[in-house]
Every structure is written in structure tokens, then in C-alpha cells.
Amino acid sequence: MRSDGRLDPLIAAPVGNADSSTNENQPLHTTHERQDYAPEKKGRNVGKLFASWADMRIFPTLLIPLFLVCVATTPAEAQPQRIPPVPVPLRTSKPTPAPASKADTLAIHASIGQTATRSQFLDNGLELKGGVEGYVTPRVSIRGQVGAAWWDIARLSYSGNLRPMYFVANVVYNWQGDDWRPYVTGGGGLYRYAFKEVGVSGSKTKGGVDVGAGVEYFVTRQTTITGEALFNRVGSVPTNRAALGFKGSFWSLAVGAKKYF
């Protein structure tokens, strides 16, 4: 204490109550002690600032891998769908299935169909035929064919039947394609008509010609399905009861199969 009765500034003022008993039990803090304490507090603040600065620098480094992980684990539905391009099949030239490329190529065929007679006294009937075909060139062939049909005599006072059987040779010209091969044909031959009237049998043989067209569809390189329409032109066929004869011409519409060798 100074001589003028004031406290020395270096000595701390009493803390809390002015009660002497209380002041005696509480420690006094001097200015020097506060000065010693201030640098320690300042050091701690600097350390916190440095730690915060370091955290701010480390945070982006940690954030980038975290962002990449989130993107990688994003559900496929949340990501834009990329439609893969539709593959375009290569167009390859289809090999011509027709084997008829040599002069010695052979084929056999058989068919079944329906006939339509030109006579009002004969019913239409079933037809069966078959033959052999040899190719002179890839587009021209010679065909030998045998066939038969069954007709009933109708709308007369007596019953009976007529059974034509024919042997014809034809020239065939085709247009080659991939699967389909249309053609035209024409030829001629012998037509034998066997008849039976009221228990009396007989036969007549007539010459005739045929003309028509058809188409083949290649199932394999050596097998085809055929469809053909022919008109057979034959003269009148006389019988025991019909002196003037029945008209022998008829239409034929048949489907069948053909095998190449």
C-alpha cells in the first residue's frame, strides 16, 4: 500500500465480498499472473485456428472420394438409361436352290388333282399322275408323264363310267428364281379311254395335246412342292351306246411334289 492510502496497482483488488474472512480464503490474482495466463490462452486459440484451417483443407480431400462412392453406388434406375444400338443383320445373298444347272439333271414328280370334263354327260373325277423330267438347259426340260382319271356317266338312261389314261411328252420352260420357279409347258401324246356301259366294256385310243402352266416352291435344294393347271385337248370318244361319242377334252388342276437328282 502506498503512503497515500491507495493500493499498489501490482496488487490485485479483493475478489468477491469485502468480508475479510472470505478474502483470506480466496487466492489473489496479480496482474503478472493475468499476463502469464493470457499468452497460454492465446496459444490455445492459435492452435484451434490452425486445426480449423487444417480441417478445411482436409475436408475437400475427404469429400471427393465420398462423392465418387455415392455416384458408384447410385441405383441403375437413377442413372440415365443408355439404349444399346440394335444390331442390323448382314444381308447375305441366298444361294439359288435350283439344282437344274447341268444338262444331265433329272427329276421325278407325282401329283394328285381334280379333273373337269367338257361333256355334260360325264361327272368330274379324281386324277393321279407322275413322270420323269430331264433338263436340256437350266431353263428348258423334257418331261414324260403318265396319268389317269375316273369319270362316271351321268344324266343318261343308263349308268356306266369312263377311265382315261394318257401318255404325254412335254417341253417345259421355266423362269429361275430363289424359292419360286414358275413355268409353262406344252406337248402331246396318246389318250386311251376305257369305258363300261351296262355291263359292256371297251376302249378307244385318241391322240391329243396339252398346254398349261405351273409353279414350283423349293422346300430344300432338291425338293419342291408343285402346282399345275393343264388343258388336255382330245376329240370325241365313241362308245357302244354313244355312237357320237363323249367329249374327251378336260381340265386338270393338281398339286404334288418333285425330287431332283
Q: Would you kindly state where each structural domain of the chain is located, as residue ranges?
A: 11-92, 106-260
pLDDT at 61: 60
User: What is the helix, strand, coil percentage profile of the chain, to 5?
Assistant: 20, 45, 35
CA distances from 43 to 30, 36, 47, 78 (A): 21, 12, 6, 50
More confident site: 20 or 167: 167
With a cut of 80, say whether residue 228 has pLDDT above it.
Answer: yes
Do you know the residue count of the chain? 261
| Residue at grid coordinates 499472473 | 33
Contacting residues for 13 by C-beta, under 8 A, at least 6 apart? 7
137 closest CA partner among 98, 103, 184:
103
Window from 28-32, 62-66, 127-131, 169-173 with minimum mean pLDDT: 28-32
Window from 13-22, 110-119, 169-178, 250-259 with minimum mean pLDDT: 13-22
pLDDT at 15: 42
CATH topology of domain 106-260: Porin (2.40.160)
pLDDT at 59: 54
pLDDT at 65: 62
pLDDT at 243: 82
Report whether 224 contacts 218 (CB < 8 A).
Answer: yes
Summary count for the chain: helices (H), strands (E): 2, 11
Average pLDDT of the residues in 113-125: 94
CA-based torsion, 62, 64, 69, 75: positive or negative:
positive
152: alpha, beta or left? (left if phi > 0; alpha if psi -120 to 50): beta
Contacting residues for 77 by C-beta, under 8 A, at least 6 apart? none
Instruction: Give CA–CA dist 210/56, Å, rounded.
Output: 104
With a cut of 80, say whether residue 6 has pLDDT above it.
Answer: no
State pLDDT tens for residues 154-210.
Answer: 999 899 999 999 999 999 999 987 899 999 999 999 999 999 998 889 999 999 999
197 closest CA partner among 166, 163, 172:
163
pLDDT at 124: 94
- The helix (H) or strand (E) run that includes residue 157 is none
State pLDDT tens for residues 41-72.
Answer: 545 555 555 455 555 555 556 556 665 655 55
State pLDDT tens for residues 84-94.
Answer: 666 666 655 55
Cell numbers of 119, please? 361333256
